[in-house]
Amino acid sequence: MSDPTSVAHSDQLLSEVSALPGLPGVYRYFDAEGGVLYVGKANNLKKRVSSYFQKNHGGTRIGHMVSKIVRMETTVVRSEAEALILENNLIKTLKPKYNILFRDDKSYPYLKITGTEAPKATNNADTKPGASVYARVAHYRGATEKKHHYFGPYPSAWAVKESILLLQKAFKLRTCEDTVFANRTRPCLLYQIKRCSGPCVGHISPDTYAHDVANAEAFLRGDTDEVLAQLQDRMMAHADKLEFEVAAELRNQMSALAKILHQQSVETTSDKDVDILAIKLQGGRACVNLAMVRGGRHLGDRPYFPVHIEDASAMLVKDATTVTVAEEMEIQVLEAFIAQHYIGMALPAVLVASQPISKALVDALCADSGTKLTVVQQPHDVRRIWLEMAQTNADIQLARLLAEEGSQQARTRALAEALDLLMANSPEGLDRLRIECFDISHTAGEATQASCVVFQHHKMQSAEYRRYKIEGITPGDDYAAMRQVLMRRYGKLAEAMRDAAAVGLNGGGTPRVSHLPDLVLVDGGKGQVSMAREVFVSLGLDLSLIIGVEKGEGRKVGLEDLVFADGREKVYLGRDSAALMLVAQIRDEAHRFAITGMRAQRAKVRVGGSKLEDIPGIGPKKRARLLQRFGGIRGVADAGAEDLATVEGISRELADEIYRALR
């Protein structure tokens, strides 16, 4: 019997393989539908690519992959480092099925200290310096500007907030927005609890505040000994001048900083910026745990879970003479993370890893960033402690993921069995089970929004969520809102399915169309299910897909009934049913997604439905004066017409227009 995965590749493809040069490069494999199967790199393109087509891979995963190849593209580069960078960029762009993929998450938070300007000369002694004179410390994500100073990245927003709190305790830097700063006439609560030096009301001079900012930045860089020495020198200098109150403030600052250093256990090693990476493989899943040390402080860690591990393992180039297959897989996953995470991103000075990293990858990272990277694989002293912590966290996070996935898969299976769905008979069918759930949200008919959330592959697919703005209905008519959203969601799909059926009857083949979900949940009982039934009947769709989630007695969670559109008796699954837990999870997510959209729309209608600059007669200068005077758009919206008219350049007629527009 012939190998089911064997396939006769076209003569053109085989001739392209035989004509490949023995040079470094990157290759891409495509299937019949144009989808990218795999992206790989090679020192010798001819030797590496030929190995896929010359060997008999049998019924393995790699055999299945090779059987699907109908087209190939290659790019020759000058070096292995260039090949690695190109391979990484293509993997992140094309997301091939047989490559290890990490979510491209570069949205790390940073701690930002704003740049400052010199105080402007003025003849008025009572005029306080502007906000631009006093640097502000803040949590930040996004593009950087040269005029500001950024520290990080941090593994989480919590780590940034903790660092800001430390800076407030030791250096009393301000965190308020510039508009709030400009409108303060007396110090805020942070000044009262000794977390701010009160620059907004002139309680500290620009020069003294600048010293505190410089010390804060040195602290964030890890130069703690230098900071303490400078504070001590300044304290002694003021004491010699008999300026004992200033000397006492500096003494208190030193005490606070020393206490922070003791509590945070800041290491006095030469390490300032270090990333620690640990890998754990188990049960066909992997976890790479990234721990961060910045300025000598251990800031915490963040786990990453790649996809396509099982498929990618088929492409593994094994070297059993040096390491086991499991160890080689760990190296491959770790190197995939390092390439996808660090290429195009600032590198730390030191990388501590639980597995050896190839010299080619390190060289590529250094060439890409223009900086030197030291990789340590068998650390000592404090680095060893950091790596052990990262490894422990990788073990814990992967165990948690496997437990959650096992629980979620059990819920999916329970629901499929409870509803007697065909996919309950196979793991592949359960993986494909797709559920779409709808909910309607509004406040007394205002800003009505419908949400659609998607569950597939045993988890919520947030990238496929959609919101629908409901218009042209009687305010508060949830049934009409449900009719509108279902028509908009499935109307075009039903039309495409009818066209496909017509083409098939005429013998012209069936064009590719999207498929209906396996279940359509609506948050509601008989009324909403009846409305959904009417829509599906008008569209010619299968009524057995529709299920309503009817609240039980007292609207208590766990007492819900399932209501069917095809005439079946409603079903109560039981308070402890795993199937009901999944239904409730999906229903609650639809409700959350709908209500957050409704609140945002309502806020826009009430406050920002018309932006200031969209109001006739409001230009950049008048807008800036209004925002500065009232501390932001909400303050402008809450102000009366009389108050608005007191702003320079705002006439009474224009004030009335602003008042109406923002309401």
pLDDT, tens digit, 9 for 90 and up, residues 152-211: 778 778 878 888 888 888 788 899 888 888 888 888 888 888 889 899 988 888 888 988
Residue after which a domain boundary falls, among 561, 577, 604: 604
Kindly state whether residue 589 falls inside one of the protein's structural domains: yes
Q: Is the pLDDT score of 349 beyond 80? A: yes
- Asked whether residue 575 falls in the same domain as residue 443, the answer is yes
Computed over every residue of the chain, the mean pLDDT equals: 80
Kindly state whether residue 208 falls inside one of the protein's structural domains: no
**CATH code: domain of residue 30:** 3.40.1440.10
Q: Under a CB-based contact definition with an 8 Å cutoff, are residues 548 and 562 in contact? A: yes
- Asked whether residue 578 falls in the same domain as residue 656, the answer is no
Q: Under a CB-based contact definition with an 8 Å cutoff, are residues 354 and 281 in contact? A: no
Average pLDDT of the segment spanning 332-358: 87
pLDDT, tens digit, 9 for 90 and up, residues 440-453: 887 766 678 889 99
Task: Describe the strand order of the beta sheet including 149-151 as a list of residue ranges.
Answer: 137-140, 110-113, 149-151
- Residues 451, 14: Cα–Cα separation, whole Å: 50
**CATH code: domain of residue 655:** 1.10.150.20
Phi, psi (5° rounding) for residue 571?
A: -125, 135
Query: So what's the pLDDT on residue 146?
Result: 81
- Asked whether residue 598 falls in the same domain as residue 618, the answer is no
- Asked whether residue 489 falls in the same domain as residue 394, the answer is no
Q: Which of 77-81, 187-191, 632-636 has the lowest mean pLDDT?
A: 632-636
- Asked whether residue 469 falls in the same domain as residue 573, the answer is yes
Residue after which a domain boundary falls, among 79, 95, 123: 79
Residue after which a domain boundary falls, among 356, 382, 400: 400
Average pLDDT of the segment spanning 349-368: 88
- Asked whether residue 305 falls in the same domain as residue 390, the answer is yes
- Asked whether residue 347 falls in the same domain as residue 495, the answer is no
* Higher local confidence (pLDDT), 615 or 35: 35
* Domain of residue 379, residue span: 274-400
pLDDT, tens digit, 9 for 90 and up, residues 521-571: 998 888 899 999 999 999 988 888 899 988 876 666 667 888 898 888 888
Query: Into how many domains does the chain fold?
Result: 4
Q: How far is CA 408 from CA 33, 456, 473, in A?
A: 32, 11, 38
* Higher local confidence (pLDDT), 603 or 391: 391
Kindly state whether residue 339 falls inside one of the protein's structural domains: yes
Percentage of the chain with pLDDT > 90?
12
Q: Identify the three-state secondary structure at position 350.
A: strand
Kindly state whether residue 34 falls inside one of the protein's structural domains: yes
DSSP for 245-292 reads HHHHHHHHHHHHHHHHHHHHT---SS--SEEEEEEEEETTEEEEEEEE
Query: So what's the pLDDT on residue 513?
Result: 44
- Asked whether residue 459 falls in the same domain as residue 589, the answer is yes
pLDDT, tens digit, 9 for 90 and up, residues 240-259: 777 777 777 777 767 766 66
Q: Tokens 């109001």 appear where?
A: 615
Kindly state whether residue 176 falls inside one of the protein's structural domains: no
Please list the alpha-helical segments (H only) found in 474-619: 478-505, 526-539, 578-603
Kindly state whether residue 166 falls inside one of the protein's structural domains: no
